[in-house]
């Protein structure tokens, strides 16, 4: 089967040292899928990483400095490069250890968005590390950025998160898939660009789950699986009446979203992206599961499967 795997940025750690260790764990699950004969495409998040890169340039910049403030599209491209390298290296080493002759390739990817998307007026996408309330207030004062509380875990910067409408490099990605390579693409949701006479980068971060769903649609994936920190989608999460869901219909999912059942910056975009994929690909399967249970979830023995009504 052709499987598109969406891997969360928070699962990769907040710094390069932590990430080098964590990608080895992710690589084992990815290679297990390839070893089972599946064609694998990976889209990773970059929320902590792109925020780290942006903060590094901000910290090094002042009126007398030669270090520039780095635009968000360039920060996104840097995160694609270094996360892609770590994943590509870890997956390649795991393939070598199992004597599996498959290539791995990372594509720096541009994702087309609508310049009139309402998201540009209402930033919602969390990036960077978590801060205390006092730290957030200071950053708002110093940098004029928008900070919000994120799912009870602290405060994070939020930026515009427009919906993806196309992937510029989709034909190259399809070519690599035909060559049987494991492909890492649309990292962090892709570098957001708008189409003019060509393509121009814009200051935003596209939710990687929505870009994953769009790419899964474009490559006609059989399975779209979002790997996260929980085994299944839950309702009443964190409460005594918490309930895990093994299946979730499109209408049920939309009802839960309408009732704000899922965290805006955590599970809600994952469920919404899975719904989008199934609506546009009725023959495909969308799953939300933990990294450790990826193979079991694809076999229908774990995770939450989103189905048509």
The single residue of 8, 9, 45, 303 carrying the catalytic annotation is 9
Tell me whether residue 174 is one of the annotated catalytic residues.
no
Q: Which of 47, 84, 125, 285 is catalytic?
A: 125
Which is catalytic among the residues 2, 10, 13, 89? Answer: 10
Single out the catalytic residue among 170, 232, 270, 285. 270
**Choice among 45, 51, 76, 208 that is catalytic:** 208
Catalytic residue flag (residue 285): no
For 207, residues 6+ apart whose C-beta sits below 8 A from its C-beta are 125, 161, 189, 269, 273
Active site residue 2: no
Q: Catalytic site residue 125?
A: yes
98 is annotated as an active-site residue: no
Residues with catalytic roles: 9-10, 125, 208, 270
């Amino acid at each position: 089967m052709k499987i598109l795997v969406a891997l969360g940025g928070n699962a990769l750690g907040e710094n390069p040292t932590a990430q080098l260790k964590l990608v080895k764990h992710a690589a084992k699950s990815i290679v297990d899928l390839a070893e089972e004969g599946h064609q694998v495409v990976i889209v990773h998040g970059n929320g902590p990483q792109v925020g780290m890169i942006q903060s590094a340039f901000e910290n090094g910049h002042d009126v007398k400095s030669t270090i520039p403030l780095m635009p968000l599209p360039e920060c996104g491209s840097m995160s694609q490069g270094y996360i892609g390298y770590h994943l590509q290296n870890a997956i390649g080493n795991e393939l070598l250890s199992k004597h599996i002759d498959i290539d791995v390739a990372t594509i720096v990817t541009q994702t087309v968005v609508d310049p009139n998307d309402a998201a540009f007026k209402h930033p919602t996408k969390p990036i960077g590390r978590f801060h205390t309330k006092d730290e957030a207030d200071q950053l708002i004062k110093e940098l004029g950025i928008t900070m919000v509380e994120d799912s009870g875990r602290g405060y994070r910067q939020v930026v515009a998160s427009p919906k993806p409408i196309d992937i510029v490099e989709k034909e190259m990605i399809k070519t690599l898939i035909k060559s049987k390579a494991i492909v890492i693409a649309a990292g962090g949701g892709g570098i957001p660009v708008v189409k003019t006479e060509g393509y121009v980068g814009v200051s935003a971060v596209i939710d990687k789950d929505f870009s994953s769903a769009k790419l899964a649609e474009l490559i006609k994936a059989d399975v779209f699986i979002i790997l996260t920190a929980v085994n299944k989608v839950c309702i009443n999460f964190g409460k005594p009446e918490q309930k895990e869901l093994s299946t979730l219909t499109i209408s049920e999912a939309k009802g839960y979203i309408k009732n704000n059942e899922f965290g805006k910056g955590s599970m809600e975009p994952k469920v919404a992206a899975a719904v989008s994929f199934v609506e546009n690909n009725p023959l495909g399967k969308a799953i939300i599961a933990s990294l450790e249970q990826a193979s079991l979830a694809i076999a229908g023995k774990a995770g939450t499967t989103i189905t048509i009504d």
